[in-house]
Structure 1
Amino acid sequence: MASVSVTNVRKSYGHVEVLHGVGIEIEDGEFVILVGPSGCGKSTLLRMIAGLEDISGGDIAIGGKVVNEVAPKHRDIAMVFQSYALYPHMTVEANMGFSLRLAKAPKNEIQQRVRDAARILGLENLLDRYPRNLSGGQRQRVAMGRAIVRQPQVFLFDEPLSNLDAKLRVQMRSEIKQLHQRLRTTTVYVTHDQVEAMTMADRIVVMRDGYVEQIGSPLDLYDRPDNLFVASFIGSPGMNLIRGHISTDGPVEFIAADGGRMPLPGKFDLERGAEVVYGLRPEHVTIGEGGVDAEVILIEPTGAETQIVCRIGAENVVVALRDRIAVSAGDTLSLVPDLGKLHLFDGVTGRRL
């Protein structure tokens, strides 16, 4: 196992720079997920760590050794791709042991490592099968087994669950997390799915447009997002964000763009008239007396909770309730914000206040 250090790394294609001085420190044995929308640079960064993309500037070190000019096969990493990329004419056992055969490892060592990996992944009864006889989840396990047998310092995962159905994705992300807890190998994992990131990572790196927006534990990012982008991206459904300003006279209140008023706690040091964004997670809004009137637009029962989309003036607000209530589109509800969980952001810079 080894740490991974990304220092001021840049990537350009001609005159177009796609990574702008990215810096990340990944500790030995840590499970770090790079997450962000399509085109944010997360897969490009992963491929640079793997050595599959050249570095335009900065340094990448694995185990304390700078690997900018080191070939991928000499970086002691193993990568699992979105595509399983299994050899169709080889059995599961042959696929898993192929890299060791290329390295001319002893036959008994190859067999032992493949058997050990198969036991960890529950593939012991499938070693004689061919990829065409496997399910999607089983093929992904074989791809992971092929990486495990190499016993690398670092595992790299590039959106490995994207081709699986929803139920299998949940199962596989649990298996990958358990695998990491067992092996404790440093892991860098790329996904656009923030639910995967929240449930699997020790730390999350949120990226946008080639920049790192925030790095922290899943709950740190959820509870204290640094800016509007992180607040809206982390969480499903995302944080409710209402634009407006601080009242210029009378009680210190938030005034939405349409003139609606929302209460503010005294913990904020606010400038009168300042442009701000009022943020609340859906589970931090309840229905009760003395709240803000909102029109029900849509009801989405999920079983465990009911998500109600309401409109306050020109803004949509999602309320997540554990209790089931009888409500229909067009009804008016009184929404009560939990002011202890309120987030305020600067309306100009988007930074957390």
Structure 2
Amino acid sequence: MAAVVIRDVRKAFGVAQILHGVSIDIADGEFVILVGPSGCGKSTLLRMIAGLESVTSGEISIAGRVVNDVPPKERDIAMVFQNYALYPHMTVADNMGFSLKLKKAPSADIAARVEQAANILGLAPYLDRFPRQLSGGQRQRVAMGRAIVRDPQVFLFDEPLSNLDAKLRVAMRAEVKELHQRLKTTTVYVTHDQIEAMTMADKIVVMHDGKVEQIGQPLELYDRPQNQFVAGFIGSPAMNFIPGRIEGGSLIGAGGLRLNLDEKAAALQGRDVTLGIRPEHLTLGDGGLVAEVVVVEPTGSEVQINARLPGGEEIVAVFRERHMFKPGEKIGLQPLPGLTHLFDAQTGQRF
């Protein structure tokens, strides 16, 4: 196992700047997830750690050794790809042990390590099968097993669950997390799915346009996002944003909106702000927001509604109770005390 340190790393393809001075500390044995929208640079950064992309400037070190110019095969890492990348003419056992065979490891050693990995991943009954005889989840386990048998210092996962159906993806999330808890190997995992990031990571790195927006534990990012981008990206359904101005400790918005806020708003008198409220932090009540129900979406365990404020802003509210709302109905929504967020209207930074 090993720590991974990324210092002021930049990446350019010609004149196109992809990464802009990224710095991340990944502790020994930590499970870190790089998350962000498509094109934010997370997969490029992962490939740079693996040695599949060169570093334009900055420094990447693994276990205290700078690896900028070290070939991928000498970095002692193992990568699991989105598309499995299994050899169709090889059995599961041969696929899992192929990297050791290339290193000319003894056959008995290969067999023992393949068997150990197969037992960890529940693949022992399938060692003689070919990839075409496996389900998508089983193929992904084989790809993970191929990485495990190498006993690397660092695991790198590049959106490994994105090709699976929703139910299998949930099951595999738990399997990957359990695997990390058993092996304790430093892991860097890339995904665009913030639910994956929230449920699996020890630490999340939120990226946007080639920059790191915030680094922290999942609930830290959820409860105290540093800026409006992180607030809107982390959480499902996404946080509601309502623009306005602070006057007398209240938010004054379009369409006559007036919402009393807590004491922290008093210090922002006269400032243009964006109020953030998570859908699950809205309750029914008078004296808050008056909204018109647009769409009702019952999910069984919850009722989610899309509603429109007088100024035209669309907001989402989630209730555990089974309210029988109807489109066009006017309801009152009250934010839970202490659970609102205020962001600067110009910079998007949290106050």
TM-score, normalised relative to structure 1: 0.98
- Letter aligned with residue 36 of structure 1: G
Matches within 5 A, 1:177-192: 177-192=177-192
Matched, 1:54 2:54: yes
| Cα distance in 1, alignment partners of residues 88 and 41 from structure 2 | 31
Equivalent residue, structure 1, for 2:69: 69
| Cα distance in 2, alignment partners of residues 258 and 20 from structure 1 | 41
Matched, 1:277 2:274: yes
Stretches of structure 2 that go unaligned for 5 or more consecutive residues are: none
Mean CA deviation greater in 268-277 or 8-17: 268-277
How large is the RMSD of aligned CA atoms in angstroms? 0.8
Equivalent residue, structure 2, for 1:259: 256
The correspondence for 1:307, drawn from 304, 307, 312, is 304
| Cα distance in 1, alignment partners of residues 228 and 285 from structure 2 | 28
The Cα of 1:151 is off from its aligned counterpart by 0.1
Matches within 5 A, 1:233-252: 233-247=233-247, 251-252=248-249
Deviations 1:125-146 (A, max 9, x none): 0000000000000000000000
- Letter aligned with residue 109 of structure 2: E
Deviations 1:200-229 (A, max 9, x none): 000000000000000000000000000000
Matches within 5 A, 1:75-224: 75-224=75-224
Equivalent residue, structure 2, for 1:317: 315
Deviations 1:281-335 (A, max 9, x none): 1111001233321100111111111111111121111111011011111101011
| Cα distance in 1, alignment partners of residues 29 and 210 from structure 2 | 26
Equivalent residue, structure 2, for 1:293: 290
Deviations 1:67-92 (A, max 9, x none): 00000000000000001110000000
| Cα distance in 1, alignment partners of residues 123 and 300 from structure 2 | 34
Contact 1:140 1:160 in 2 (8 A): yes
Mean CA deviation greater in 266-275 or 143-152: 266-275
- Letter aligned with residue 304 of structure 1: S
- Letter aligned with residue 26 of structure 1: I
Contact 2:246 2:265 in 1 (8 A): no
- Letter aligned with residue 93 of structure 2: E
| Cα distance in 2, alignment partners of residues 329 and 85 from structure 1 | 49
| Cα distance in 2, alignment partners of residues 150 and 190 from structure 1 | 21
Contact 1:246 1:270 in 2 (8 A): no
Q: Which SS does the other structure have where 2:346 is aligned?
A: coil
| Cα distance in 2, alignment partners of residues 352 and 269 from structure 1 | 15
Equivalent residue, structure 2, for 1:340: 338
Q: Which SS does the other structure have where 2:244 is aligned?
A: strand
- Letter aligned with residue 348 of structure 1: Q
- Letter aligned with residue 304 of structure 2: Q
Mean CA deviation greater in 287-296 or 46-55: 287-296
- Letter aligned with residue 260 of structure 1: L
Indicate how the Cα distance of structure 1 residues 252 and 269 shifts in structure 2: closer, same or farther if over 3 A, else same. Answer: closer
Q: Which SS does the other structure have where 2:255 is aligned?
A: coil
| Cα distance in 2, alignment partners of residues 99 and 323 from structure 1 | 54
In the TM superposition, structure 1's runs of 4+ consecutive aligned residues that sit over 4 Å from their partners are none
| Cα distance in 2, alignment partners of residues 215 and 252 from structure 1 | 31
Q: Which SS does the other structure have where 1:258 is aligned?
A: helix
Stretches of structure 1 that go unaligned for 5 or more consecutive residues are: none
Give aligned pairs, total. Answer: 350
